[in-house]
Structure 1
Amino acid sequence: MPAWARPGDVQRDVDAGYEESIPENGLGYDDLMEDRDYLFRLINTIDWEAQLRAIKGVLGRNRAASQAVSKAIDDLQHESETYRGPHHEQIVDEWVDAVSSASYSEAANSMSAIGMIMPMLESIHSQAFYSLGELYAAKGMGPPAHKRWDRAVAHPQRWNCQVYFDADGTAGTDIIRGIRQISAATGLAPFLASDTADWIDAMLTYRNKMFHGGFEWSLEQRARFARQIEARHWEHFFSAATTDEEPWIFYVRKEVIAEMPSRIEAILDSWGAFVKGLPFECGHQ
């Protein structure tokens, strides 16, 4: 069995080896493979599909819970507007409390989504770039000319996407700039959708703030992120609850959360197409 073969591939064991079944139309395995399958030739120890199925399941349950909360709030609002009995003030208070609580539950949904998707994104890039570096070394070849390699020279972290190399060759931990730099340096960038880099920048920025600042950031951090959203035109990624007309809690928009698995699938496909076009045949021994 080839090291890159997955369950369901057409094959059968013969004695101590294997014999590939050749399709009647004369096409080989490469002709039947989708772009994403080529990434498995670079990394054959990770089941990306199983991870995405698990993430989709959690996102689906969170979405259903969020919809239930929204319906309960709408029902309370309707009751507070139509009920005129002796308990009217109590119902209004319940509605206000429900709206406030929902602000935190929506923040939890955003953190849950970003906390699953972005580590997977990091894992894809970190492992794939590291394996790519090993392949170039094994082939005795160098990557395409780029300022990253000129700056890094033989630095041990040159294939680490969490590291960015400044003009003077200084290596600094900065995954946002690091991913952009190494994607360009390896030639991966043209295979990615045109807005992928901006999406990664936005999601990693939000992930870092949520993981270090929780749901309610400092006033300075709130104002800074609001300015960043405006400057980077990230309004289609994020929304915010406000207090006294100032940002309070930031969220990833629901439609952006819903498309996160598709974003990762597209990135996997892009990686596969990139691997397919490498200047050498890659595969695990």
Structure 2
Amino acid sequence: MKRILQFLLSFLSLALGCVSCLTEVEVGGCNNAVVRFEYMADGAEDCFAEYISAVDYYIYDEQGSLVIASRLDKKNLEHFQGFKLRLPRAGTYQVVCWGNIGRQNMASATETLAGARVCNREVASGSLPGSNDPLYLGSTAFTLADVDGRKETVLRFHAAHITFKPYIVFAGQTVVQDTDCPYEVKAGMFPAEMSFEGEAAGEETLFMPSMDAFPERNMYGGVCELPLFGEDTPAVVMVFDCKSGKKLAEVSLQKYMAEHGIHLAGKEEIVIEMLISISGTNVTIKLPVWEEDSIFPA
């Protein structure tokens, strides 16, 4: 009888322990690593959910070898803005997170931190890219002293893109919905890849944003997410006639930003707008000024 009682008590203790652990896993208690995300944009408050809808995270060990990789979608991030997991052993880990990898970009060679890249899908297929995704990058390192312990840390994201918005208006033409723009805008050269440290990698390429019709403003407009660059960039923006292939104009991005007081240093959410006006063979490029009550192109 005593032996049976001891068995029942042992079983009950084990069962309660399992229930406790399951409950803690649900809230992260049995996980030994908890990473919370934040993104401040250009303010003082977290606005992660406003800008980032999915996160791909990669955890590397001290040798730079991949330990765990996974993706969190919008529903996951609404439940918990970060991730909780149990790492297999104590040690120092490097966490790299990319926000918003989607239709335009993909991660490759992620088995090692040194070789991992984010590249443009169109470039990888041999095409001229229209845009990157609006990428965000965050990384942090932490040491888990004991596999049965617990380490919590905050990972802050930073913008890994610059938004370029070109607009085209031309004399003597009426823009009709769903019509093709007779002109092309190309910007470059820019790196086709980024390392997991956020550095330029791979070959350089031009970007050619898709130009959509905006009949309400009688213009065409496009949105192109470019890789990060500095105010001293050698990149240019060029305008071409689609029918003849002739280059109509070229402007230095460095000169354009300097002339219009566009500064990049210390900023996260950067948008560079450019209004291209075409009249015959005359092309003027300037910063657009919109009326407050007007309908802004996308």
Of Structure 1 and Structure 2, which has the larger fraction of its residues in helix?
1
TM-score (norm 2): 0.21
Give 1 or 2 for the bigger CA radius of gyration. Answer: 2
TM-score (norm 1): 0.22
